[in-house]
Amino acid sequence: MEDIDFENRHKIINKNKKVVMCLQCGTCTSSCLIPRYLKDYNPRMSFIHALYGSRKAIENPTLWACSVCHTCQDRCPEGVNPTELLISLKELAFAEGLAPKTVAQGTELVLSTGRAYPASAIVDSARERLNLGKLRDVDVKDLNKIAEKTGLREKLNKLKG
């Protein structure tokens, strides 16, 4: 029998005050695409786990399949904003190293190149054929300054090392 972990519970509530309004009505889960294809993905269950401070809220790897499509947010009758709540849970999961490796890798790519996909000679030649000119230079100094200020850089480094 799992007791309620009040410390965790309060941590989550402080991040998203509206979570306490969740009535477990199930509108979010039945509105969502993902549970139809991934049996273990259930936003409503993630929220009750969150309310009880249970680690199950952040340990579920299927959390990362959410497409942030906002359908649950558009429909939640209590205004809980499930989209934001799920993002908060993922933030907590990431901080504990529970995110898929590719997510951190993708983020590092953006911070080092300013783009989500890698440039290459093939890309250059495809663009040339279309007379589009080279990819514009991107100054990533600013991006990295932001990541420093918000503490993301530190979090990424902690997970690397």
Partner 1 sequence: MTGPDQQEKLRIGVFICHCGKNIGAVVDPAAVAEYAKTLPDVVFVIENLYTCAEPGQEEIRKAIKEHNLNRVVVASCSPKLHEPTFRRTLTEAGLNKYLFEMVNIREHCSWVHMREKEKATKKAMDLVRMGVAKARLLQPLEDITVPVKKEALVLGGGVAGCQAALDLADLGFKVNLVEKDPSIGGIMAQLDKTLPTMDCSICILGPKLVDVGKHENINLITNAELKSVDGFIGNFKVKVEVKPRYVDMTKCNGCGECVDVCPVILPNQYDMQLKPRKAIYCSFAQAVPLVYAIDKDKCIECGMCMDACDLNAINLDQEPQEINLEVGTVIVATGAEPFDATRKEEYGYGKLENVITSLEFERIICASGPTGGDLLRRDGGHAKKVGFVQCVGSRDEKCGNKYCSSYCCLATIKQAMLIKEHDPEAEIYIFYTDIRAFGKGYEDLYARGREEGLIFIRGRPSSIKENPKNKNPIIVVENTLTNELMEVEVDLAVLAIGLQPTEGARNVAQMLHIPIGADGFFIESHPKLKPVDTPVDGIYICGTSAQPRDIKDSVTTGSAAAARASIPMGAGKFSVEGITSVLVHPEKCTACAICTTKCPYGAIQVKEKGKTPAIIIEASCKGCGTCVADCPFKALDQRHFADEQIFAQIDAALEEDPEDKIISFNCNWCSYAGADLAGVSRFQYPTNVRIIRVMCSGRVSKEMIMRAFEKGAGMVLVAPCHPSDCHYISGNLHAKNRIDQLYKVLPSKGIDPRRLRLEYVSAAEGLVYQRLIKEMTEQLEEFKKQGIVKTPVKGG
Partner 2 sequence: MIPIKQPHIEYLARKILPQLGLELEDLDGFTCCPDPIWFRSIDNLTWMSVAARNLCVAEERGLDILTLCNACAGVLTETNALLKKDAKTRTKVNEILKEIGHEFHGSIKIRHVLDVLDKDIEREKIQSLVKRELTALNVATHTGCHLIRPHEIMQFDDPEDPKVFDKLVSILGANPVNYTLKTQCCGFSMALSYLDASSAATRDKLMSVREADADCLVVGCPACFQQLDTGQLLASRAFGLNFKIPVLNYLQLLGLAMDYSLDEVGYNTHKIKDTNFEKKVLPENNTLKYI
Q: Which two tokens stand for residue 72?
A: 């649950």
Side-chain half-sphere exposure of 80, counting CA atoms within 13 A: 29
**CA–CA distance, 150 with 144 (Å, rounded to integer):** 10
Which of 2, 4, 10, 26: binder of partner 1 (CB under 8 A)?
26
Q: Is 77 near partner 1 (CB under 8 A)?
A: yes
Which partner, partner 2, partner 1, none, binds residue 117 by CB below 5 to 8 Å per kind? partner 2
Q: Is 29 near partner 1 (CB under 8 A)?
A: yes
CB of 13 to partner 1, least distance (A): 18
Q: Which two tokens stand for residue 76?
A: 């939640």
**CA–CA distance, 63 with 40 (Å, rounded to integer):** 9
Q: Which two tokens stand for residue 46?
A: 């993630």
Which partner, partner 1, partner 2, none, binds residue 136 by CB below 5 to 8 Å per kind? partner 2
Which whole-number Å values give the CA distances from 128 to 27, 103, 113, 119, 120, in the listed order?
49, 31, 20, 13, 12
CB of 81 to partner 1, least distance (A): 10
**CA–CA distance, 74 with 55 (Å, rounded to integer):** 27
Using CB under 8 A, list all residues that contact partner 2: 33-34, 36-38, 61-62, 64-71, 73-74, 83-84, 86-88, 90-91, 94, 99-100, 102-104, 106-107, 110, 114-119, 123, 126-127, 129-132, 135-140, 142-143, 145-147, 149-152, 155
Residues that bind partner 1 (CB under 8 A): 23-31, 35-36, 42, 44-45, 74-79
